[in-house]
Amino acid sequence: MKRESPLSYLEPLDTRARGVAVLDALADMIERAGLGIGDRLPPEVSLAETLGVGRSTIREALNRWEGLGIIKRRQGDGTYLTARVQTSHGLVPTMVRLEGEALLRLIEVRRALENDVVRKATVHATPAQRRQISELCALLLAEVDARRPWRKADAAFHGAIYDASGNPMFGQILSRLDLALERAHESPFGRDEFGLASFPPHRALADAILASDADGAVAAVNVILDSVAGEIRSIIADTPSRGG
């Protein structure tokens, strides 16, 4: 039985519709057409014509998906799915769930790197570096407790750990990982309140490094990552409302 073209599952959008509306339509197309990882999407020009929007709008939408690791472009060949795409049928917008799933994949990568970097930092840090990490942790937690902007203090704390590992590549790679994953301006994952529950375990991480306890440091960084992953899963839990 011949499979329908994915384009048959699209309908023209209001010409003013952009961004999220286009991505929602593409996600619906992928789900209804039964496309999976490794399948190729229709050409940009066909998507634009079928939806009734400009090609630049399609390109902007696909750029966002590429930043989330959902698609991969192969020059001269096309655009392929690299992650599962399903629409949301509950209260959570499709793009929020897709962003959350991308962040969970990112945490898997971070976990492998962070476990190694904190172990190396605990083993190789000088006494001065251990004290600096502890002091920077105190400054970070003070900023968080006072509800002040904390991102600069957080970067300084983790940067000191990367430096103490003795391998500057760790810091470069980990710093670029977050930048590589594009978040929408309205994303709940970019707000200051996101991830606040993960900050108290930072004290355990700093104390373990200060005490040269490598296993304790690894355990603490995993508690931090587990906390963030748990919050992401809570946000993207797609539970349809009941009744009615």
The domains of the chain are located at 6-81, 94-236
pLDDT at 16: 47
Task: Name the band, by pLDDT with cuts 50, 70 and 90, for residue 2.
Answer: low
Determine the Cα–Cα distance for residues 165 and 146; give it in Å rounded to an integer: 30
Higher per-residue confidence, 169 vs 184: 169
pTM: 0.81
Q: Report angle CA 77, 28, 105 to the nearest 5 degrees.
A: 70
Residues 160, 194 contacting (CB under 8 angstroms):
no
Question: Which residue, 104, 102, 93, is CA-closest to 28?
Answer: 93
Residues across the chain: 244
Task: Name the band, by pLDDT with cuts 50, 70 and 90, for residue 31.
Answer: very high
Domain 6-81 architecture: Orthogonal Bundle (1.10)
Domain 94-236 listed as CATH 1.20.120.530 = yes
